[in-house]
């Protein structure tokens, strides 16, 4: 116990000194993040105009949003409602639906550089009974946000450093366990198991589980979600994510990486012309340096907007042109049928 007290005292003294010398080592004192992040992806994603587009293209199918999952089967509940009560119930259902469609944040992974706080060789091999052991010191104060907590490691050679990304996640899960999150990475996220799940088309299950297991800037979260998006892009199973909270981040990923052609084709084949035009608008917002964005585009004309993309930005213009032509013909046929019926 005397040894632990001595090491703890030395750590506290070092932390106090380092805060006065360099407050950026301990950002909870100034209200910033624990790591240095690249803001480009985050800033693009949270732009109001980008968020509005992503919300629109996600869709809002209440039956799909509140679909019963095999693990959530309960006996049906019936109620007799007045017209006013039914209207209020519908409003509440819409509100809950919007909440369930809240998109997970899109972030870049942190640059995990080792940050040495102090080097004290005079206490090298301080734990004689456990040579080579490391001591971890964690701020467990009440009211401190998860990302703001200070976690430092005392190496056996006396070096005091900030915990790396993996150590932080592991220690935080020990002290502040989150429901559903496992201490170690589940097997389902390993490459072989992940590919098997993707082959079965369990995209929503994978993405929902990733949101529980990982932080949004965890390299594993980014790897799993991006691999899932790529699999969906290859199989053209975009409709599986419509009216789910994952459709927006997927569309953003395709837009950011200039891979919108397949998703646009899917929209046109499903007669979602406005969604296709929104995705073109998203492309122009994310890539203002492109040739097409410098041209004058009437974004209020959905058909002209999609044609513009096909002419200037599409990598697979043939498939897009055929899908657009099919949509135009179906629309004309519906208008003719409606005119004949009237």
**Residue 72: what pLDDT?**
60
In degrees and rounded to multiples of 5, residue 135 shows phi and psi of: -105, 130
Q: Are 242 and 61 a contacting pair, CB within 8 Å?
A: yes
Using CA atoms, how far apart are residues 245 and 159, in angstroms rounded to an integer?
A: 44
Same domain, 127 and 62: no
CA proximity to 276, closest of 285, 284, 286, 266: 266
Segments of the chain scoring below 70 in pLDDT:
1-39, 68-73, 112, 291-296, 342
178: how many CB neighbours lie within 10 A of its CB?
A: 12
Residues 82 and 158 occupy one common structural domain: no
- 139/91 same-domain check: no
Whether 190 maps to a domain, the answer reads no
**pLDDT score at 295:** 66
pLDDT on residue 166:
84
Predicted pLDDT of residue 281: 94
| pLDDT tens per residue across span 1-23 | 454 444 455 554 444 444 333 32
Q: Is residue 122 situated within a structural domain?
A: yes
Contact 256, 286 (CB under 8 A): yes
Both structure tokens of 201: 């088309």
Q: What's the pLDDT score for residue 324?
A: 95
Please tell me the total count of domains within the chain: 3
Strand-pairing partners, residue 138, are 151
pLDDT of the residue at 55: 96
Assess whether 94 and 120 both reside in one domain. Answer: no
Q: Are residues 56 and 121 in the same domain?
A: no
In a domain, 322, yes or no: yes
Q: Which residue has the tokens 């122009």?
A: 284
The whole-angstrom separation of Cα 33 and Cα 80 is: 51
In a domain, 22, yes or no: yes
The answer to whether residues 56 and 96 belong to one domain is yes
Asked if 65 and 146 sit in the same domain, the reply is no
Domain membership flag for residue 276: yes
Q: Is residue 298 part of a domain?
A: yes
Could you give phi then psi for residue 159, rounded to 5 degrees? -70, 130
Same domain, 16 and 91: yes
b/e burial code for range 77-86 (CB count within 10 A of at least 16 → b):
eeeeeeeeee
Total-model pTM: 0.80
Let me know if residue 89 belongs to a domain.
yes
For residue 192, being part of any structural domain is answered with no
Residue 275 near residue 281 (C-beta atoms within 8 A): no
Range of the domain at 317: 260-337
Tokens standing for residue 21: 């010398």
pLDDT value for 46: 95
């Amino acid at each position: 116990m005397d040894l632990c007290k001595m090491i703890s005292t030395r750590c506290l003294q070092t932390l106090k000194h380092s805060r006065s010398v360099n407050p950026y080592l301990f950002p909870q004192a100034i209200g910033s993040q624990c790591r240095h992040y690249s803001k480009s992806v985050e800033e693009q994603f949270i732009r109001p105009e980008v968020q509005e587009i992503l919300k629109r293209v996600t869709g809002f199918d209440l039956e799909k949003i509140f679909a019963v999952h095999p693990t959530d089967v309960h006996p049906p509940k019936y109620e007799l409602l007045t017209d006013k009560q039914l209207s209020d119930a519908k409003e509440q259902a819409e509100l809950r639906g919007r909440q369930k469609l809240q998109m997970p944040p899109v972030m870049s992974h942190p640059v995990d550089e080792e940050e040495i706080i102090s080097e004290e060789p005079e206490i090298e091999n301080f734990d004689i009974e456990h040579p080579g052991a490391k001591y971890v010191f964690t701020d467990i104060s009440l009211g401190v946000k998860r990302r703001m907590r200070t976690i430092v490691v005392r190496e056996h050679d006396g070096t005091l450093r900030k915990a790396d990304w993996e150590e932080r996640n592991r220690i935080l899960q020990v002290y502040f366990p989150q429901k559903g999150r496992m201490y170690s990475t589940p097997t389902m996220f390993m490459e072989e198991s992940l590919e098997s799940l993707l082959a079965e088309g369990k995209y929503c299950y994978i993405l929902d589980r990733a949101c529980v297991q990982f932080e949004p800037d965890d390299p594993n979260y980014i790897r799993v979600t991006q691999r899932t998006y790529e699999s969906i892009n290859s199989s053209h199973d975009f409709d599986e994510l419509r009216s789910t909270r994952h459709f927006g981040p997927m569309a953003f990923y395709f837009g950011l990486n200039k891979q919108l052609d397949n998703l646009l084709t899917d929209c046109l084949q499903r007669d979602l012309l406005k969604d296709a035009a929104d995705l073109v608008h998203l492309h122009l917002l994310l890539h203002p340096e492109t040739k097409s964005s410098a041209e004058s585009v009437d974004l209020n004309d959905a058909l002209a907007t999609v044609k513009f993309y096909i002419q200037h930005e599409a990598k697979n213009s043939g498939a897009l042109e055929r899908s657009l032509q099919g949509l135009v013909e179906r629309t004309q046929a519906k208008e003719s049928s409606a005119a004949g019926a009237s």
